[in-house]
Amino acid sequence: MSAVPYSLNSTYKIAMARKPTEKLRHGWTTGACATAAAKAAYTALLTGYFPDPVEIILPKGKTPSFALAREKIDGKRASAAIVKDAGDDPDVTHGALIQVDIDPRDDDGHGVTFRAGEGVGTVTREGLPLAIGEPAINPVPRQMIEKVITEVADTYGGNGNVIVTISVEAGAALALKTWNPRLGIQGGISILGTTGVVVPYSCAAWIESIHRGIDVARAAGETTIAGCTGKTSEDRCQALLSLPDHAMIDMGDFVGGMLKYLRKHPVPNIVISGGFAKVCKLAQGNLDLHSGRSQVDLPWLAKVAKELGADNATQSAIRRANTAAAALFIAEKVDLPLANDVAQRASGVAKDTVGDTGSNFRVLIFDRGGNLAGSSNA
């Protein structure tokens, strides 16, 4: 996934899919597409023709070419649009039409002014690297666009003083599938990308979105944030603790990415909410909870049950259970507080990971029905 905003691309937020085993094709970020469209449109504004395909240089030196899907000159305005190709990444913006309109500035200002067109969001909360009221066009795409505007101006005799308006067809609807509403980016998606390249199934975008979510919560003065592994645990945790949306962090499997960021950007109260299996992994010291990278250790659970006073039959049944959920059911039948103990151990791992920040920790475990199965000491 390429990335949440500043959202999971912000960041866009998608369900974690299992990565295919075959070699995957890379794609291009919304920022790269917008840069190419801006170059084509400004070239046409100055020369009367659109370069198609249009080539740009990405921050790390790659030189992709983009075919234009639309092009138009209307008086003093030139417009170009590119269909985003995310490669083999399951990105919600794959296939989106990214359009850039270039208008010369009529005032005495200098350089590029950015505006959000239809389908591009506007920042409404503090904590992001953009001021409130700014279009959600992230810093690196802005730099890339400014660079190509300057290059085209130098080549064809322009002054580079232009208004760049970026639009994304159906962007407002796409944004509802990202972190943008929670981060306070309203009205559309973000124009993203630090390298210009979408790496299929990259974890970096999701973790970056976790960080931005923490930034927004801190800037809003929230004293409690809750990192959740999935929708059920998030919904139940939010209802239980009465937390606002922007205090809820969709950390997925990346509890380590959240905790390590909180080490340097602490909040007073940290809640981790998840299912029994994932919290078991955290309790054993695993900071990546994905099923492909860590497994529930049933013999370890049986050992924990023994320490809680389970008889031999219960220990054996837990050891032979098919799943962590089955092990929990076995413990619950004999009133063994296995979930509470696992939650307490997970809380200790979280505290050790964050370090001496003075934060308080609480771990909540919910079963598949959304019932609270266990909790560490608050």
Confidence label for 110 from pLDDT (cuts 50, 70 and 90): confident
Average pLDDT rounded to a whole number, residues 181-191 = 92
Provide the b/e sequence for 175-202 (b: ≥16 CB within 10 Å). Answer: bebbbbbbbbbbbbbbbbbbbbbbbbbb
Judgement on whether residues 266 and 186 belong to the same structural domain of the protein: no
* pLDDT for residue 26: 83
Q: Is residue 208 part of a domain?
A: no
Confidence label for 1 from pLDDT (cuts 50, 70 and 90): very low
Question: pLDDT tens, 220-271?
Answer: 999 999 999 988 899 999 999 999 999 999 998 899 999 999 999 999 999 9
* pLDDT for residue 48: 95
Average pLDDT rounded to a whole number, residues 88-113 = 85
Q: C-alpha distances in angstroms, 277 versus 72, 192, 271, 294, 356?
A: 55, 34, 17, 10, 27
Judgement on whether residues 154 and 284 belong to the same structural domain of the protein: no
Helices 298-307 and 338-354, axial angle in degrees (round to 10): 110
Structural domain including 165 reads 27-198
Structure tokens at 244: 């606002």
* pLDDT for residue 84: 92
Q: Is residue 211 part of a domain?
A: no
Look at 144 and 16; give whichever has higher pLDDT. 144
* pLDDT for residue 252: 87
Q: Is residue 19 part of a domain?
A: no
Q: Is residue 276 part of a domain?
A: yes
* pLDDT for residue 3: 34
Cross-strand bridge partners of residue 55: 65
* pLDDT for residue 293: 60
Q: Is residue 343 part of a domain?
A: yes
Sign of CA dihedral 347, 348, 354, 360: positive
State how beta strands 269-274 and 360-366 pair: parallel
Judgement on whether residues 230 and 356 belong to the same structural domain of the protein: yes
Judgement on whether residues 254 and 371 belong to the same structural domain of the protein: yes
Q: Is residue 213 part of a domain?
A: no
* pLDDT for residue 38: 97
* pLDDT for residue 292: 61
Q: C-alpha distances in angstroms, 267 versus 210, 226, 250, 262, 270?
A: 14, 11, 16, 7, 7
- Strands (DSSP E) along the chain, which ranges? 27-28, 54-55, 65-66, 70-74, 77-83, 97-104, 112-116, 119-120, 122-123, 162-168, 185-186, 188-189, 197-198, 224-228, 248-250, 269-274, 360-366, 372-375
Judgement on whether residues 193 and 237 belong to the same structural domain of the protein: no
Judgement on whether residues 80 and 179 belong to the same structural domain of the protein: yes
Domain count for the chain, please give it. Answer: 2
Confidence label for 201 from pLDDT (cuts 50, 70 and 90): low
Query: What CATH number is attached to the domain comprising 129?
Result: 3.30.2110.10
Angle at CA 183, nearest 5°, toward 365 and 285? 35
For residue 104, pLDDT beyond 70 = yes
Look at 15 and 140; give whichever has higher pLDDT. 140
End-to-end CA distance of the chain: give it in Å, rounded: 34
* pLDDT for residue 269: 97
Question: pLDDT tens, 22-66?
Answer: 577 788 899 999 999 999 999 999 999 999 999 999 988 999 999
Q: Is residue 22 part of a domain?
A: no
SS3 241: helix
For residue 114, pLDDT beyond 90 = yes
Judgement on whether residues 47 and 160 belong to the same structural domain of the protein: yes
Look at 179 and 339; give whichever has higher pLDDT. 339
State how beta strands 27-28 and 197-198 pair: antiparallel
Judgement on whether residues 229 and 99 belong to the same structural domain of the protein: no
Q: C-alpha distances in angstroms, 59 versus 86, 88, 100, 141, 142?
A: 18, 21, 20, 10, 12
In this prediction the pTM is 0.75
* pLDDT for residue 177: 86
* pLDDT for residue 89: 67
Judgement on whether residues 141 and 54 belong to the same structural domain of the protein: yes
Judgement on whether residues 70 and 173 belong to the same structural domain of the protein: yes
* pLDDT for residue 197: 75
For residue 90, pLDDT beyond 90 = no
The last residue of a domain, from among 138, 163, 198: 198
Judgement on whether residues 190 and 227 belong to the same structural domain of the protein: no
* pLDDT for residue 18: 47
* pLDDT for residue 354: 95
* pLDDT for residue 135: 97
Judgement on whether residues 92 and 58 belong to the same structural domain of the protein: yes
* pLDDT for residue 208: 85
Q: Is residue 203 part of a domain?
A: no
